[in-house]
A and B are shown apart, each in its own frame.
Chain A
Amino acid sequence: MIDEVYSTVLSVLNKNNYGYVTPADFNLFATQAQLSIFEDFFYSYNHQINKENMRQSGIGYADIKSGIEQDIAIFAKTQVLDQPASTTNTANLYNLPLDYYFVNKLYFYPTLLYSGTTTAEVAGKLVDTTLNQFVITAPGIPESPPVGSIVVNTSPIGAPTDPMLTAYVTAVDSVSELSLSADIMSTGAIPYVGQDYRIYDANNIVEVEKVSQYKIFNLTSSQLTAPTRTYPAYVLSEGVSETATVYPSTINKKGDVICQYIRYPKTPKWTYNLVASTPIFNASAPDYQDFEVPEDNQVDLISLILQYSGMSIREVEIYKFGATQDMNETQSEE
């Protein structure tokens, strides 16, 4: 989509010989335009809910809210939260994802079934011959961990900032081997480096409730509503790296807390090769990045980029055109 947008912008600008926008400038404007549209999703969503409550919205094709939900869902992500290195497995502090825009929910896995360190690398398997702790199904004895249990690799496989990987148990092969839904224990290193794992019960996952800073100590002092492992709570703390402090403080193990959040859109980049001093679009460049907002936002993107371009080349007409287009689009959507 990014090439179409760039081409359209250039076409509008060149029509009356207003000027030219370089790829570098376009990439800057594109980032701003996408962020603006991305933020508008949330306001539009709220607007649509209010309309629904006033019975001004319908179902089926008239269900605008669902469309916006789908737009936002593109950016939804779930990640097991890591902990600051100095307090891993000791303090109730968890690092928030680096790319988060809006933390929707934190969840806590309350029931740890098994933990240990893998001893061998088999693709799609978890192998731990040290503890031999798994249970194969037999008459009257259910398998353990049950199929569907959540496995978290708590050793970072890539860079230390890489998210921890998760998978589901698909079968208990033996007392030392599990089949997993994804290959999360392989490292490719020779010799193999054992990976720490934790296996959680997939049932009874509890939501960690967000509480304001100014209320958290009232809450922890309350006899009836103090956070427990059944009803945990967290507060956001800001610093160099943003963290969530989870209560009760017994929730302090790496892998215990997962985050469902909305991330920022990736920065769009129109990449090119210079052919006879002319930039020619190259979608194969390693740093190429298309717009992430859905295609139906193309008109908005063009309008916004034209506005930025109009301001850049000091052409009021261009700015006005972009602004009018944007306003018309917004009105028709409402």
Chain B
Amino acid sequence: MTYLSQFQYYTNSGTIPTDENWGSYQYVKLQDIVNNFMLMYNDNHNIINNEERYKVLFHAKRAIQELNYDAFKEIKALQLTVDVALRFILPSDYVNWVRISLYKDGYIRPLTENIQVASAHEYLQDDTGKILFSQNGEILMPQYSGLDHDRIMGSKKSIYLNKNNPMFNGVYGYCCDGAWYFDYHSRARFGLNTETANANPTFTIDKQAGVINFDSTMANEECILEYVSDGMANGNDGEVSVNKLFEEFVYAYIRYAIISSRLGVQEYIVSRARKEKSALLRNAKIRISNIHPGRLLMNLRGRDKWIK
């Protein structure tokens, strides 16, 4: 890959999108990684020779996937309105979630994952409990199970301290801007279960269905999903890239992956490759952690604050 001129970097040479190259210098493309590896590490005089490119490509992609899961700090965010069925469909490149928040009144409120089941399938049954089938032998199911129906209609009670919690019924409170607040001094409760002590809406993730299910208090609300992907750019190899701080690790990962599965390679060489890979990952993680002394100082300034 050639270096970009300033004109190309800032304006993409006048081609839309003009911001195409902004920040691109942080990354090295998958194409370059594979090309460099084939050029530098796969040769008649190297430990690795006669290795097919598709194997190198496979290991390079696997390394990038692994890095995306935990080492990179590249968290994607998607904001959507929760639909009438109280669902948020997971994005196409979703692998795992980091944080789910309600965006309301200008505040981002982190939501709590509900520890109870929020959605279920249901089979239709007759009055004797027998499961009903169609003429084709397919099992009959309603659109929503009873649990889902109650959750969507808002009649499902919550164990969390939000407005679906029956404990709040009959309790004195104050309504301010549509939200209820309660004065615990008048009826203090002891033995609070802190696990469920959150007034915000709750969610559960149905991985098989590919949706996030919310309780009824999230209906038509704005939800922000922060999540990690695997960096595969939806299969567009030309867009797959990796931060330069991890470039050497990716080479080491590929080397190790190939050497460790090769016949006749001495164990000390495999071991050396493994150690090299681990050390490079550790180094890269430290480098990318960005521990800035200035920010640390600001946090530490709070150490002398008086706690009332």
Contact = CB atoms under 8 A, between A and B. Distances in A.
Given A53-B45, A211-B52, A230 B238 contact: yes
Interface residues of A, number: 18
Nearest to A65: B44
A231 B35 CA distance: 11
Contact of A224 (B2, B14, B45, B58): B58
A209 B237 contact: no
A224 B52 contact: no
B268 interface: no
A233 interface: yes
B57 A231 contact: yes
B156 interface: no
Interface string B1-39: 010000000000110000000000000000100100000
B58 A225 contact: yes
Interface string B220-246: 000000000000100101100000000
B87 interface: no
B274 interface: no
Nearest to B232: A224
Contacts of A135: none
Nearest to A218: B54
Contacts of A225: 54-55, 57-58, 61
A207 B53 CA distance: 10
A74 to B, nearest CB: 21
Contacts of A207: 53
Contacts of A233: 54
A138 to B, nearest CB: 13
B54 A211 contact: yes
Interface in B54-78: 54-55, 57-58, 61-62
A42 to B, nearest CB: 14
Interface in A28-73: 49, 52-53
Which of A49, A209, A225, A228 has its CB near the most chain B CB atoms (within 10 A)?
A225
B61 A224 contact: yes
Contacts of B34: 231
Contacts of B54: 209, 211, 219, 225, 231, 233
Interface string A219-253: 10011110010110100000000000000000000
B53 A209 contact: yes
Contacts of B52: 209, 211
A207 B39 CA distance: 13
Interface in B226-273: 232, 235, 237-238
Nearest to B240: A230
A219 B44 CA distance: 25
Contacts of A230: 31, 237-238
B45 A231 contact: no
Nearest to A210: B52
A53 B57 contact: no
A273 B279 CA distance: 76
Interface in A125-155: 140, 142
Contacts of B237: 228, 230-231
Which of B31, B54, B55, B62 has its CB near the most chain A CB atoms (within 10 A)?
B54
A223 B233 CA distance: 13
A288 B14 CA distance: 59
Contacts of B61: 224-225
Contacts of A222: 58
Nearest to A49: B44
A203 B2 CA distance: 10
B185 to A, nearest CB: 59
Given A230-B237, A231-B54, 16 more contacts: A49-B44, A52-B45, A140-B14, A142-B13, A207-B53, A211-B52, A219-B54, A222-B58, A223-B235, A224-B62, A225-B54, A231-B34, A231-B53, A231-B57, A231-B237, A233-B54
The 6 closest A-B pairs by CB, nearest first: A230-B237, A225-B54, A209-B53, A225-B58, A224-B61, A49-B44
6 contacts: A53-B44, A207-B53, A219-B54, A224-B61, A230-B31, A231-B237
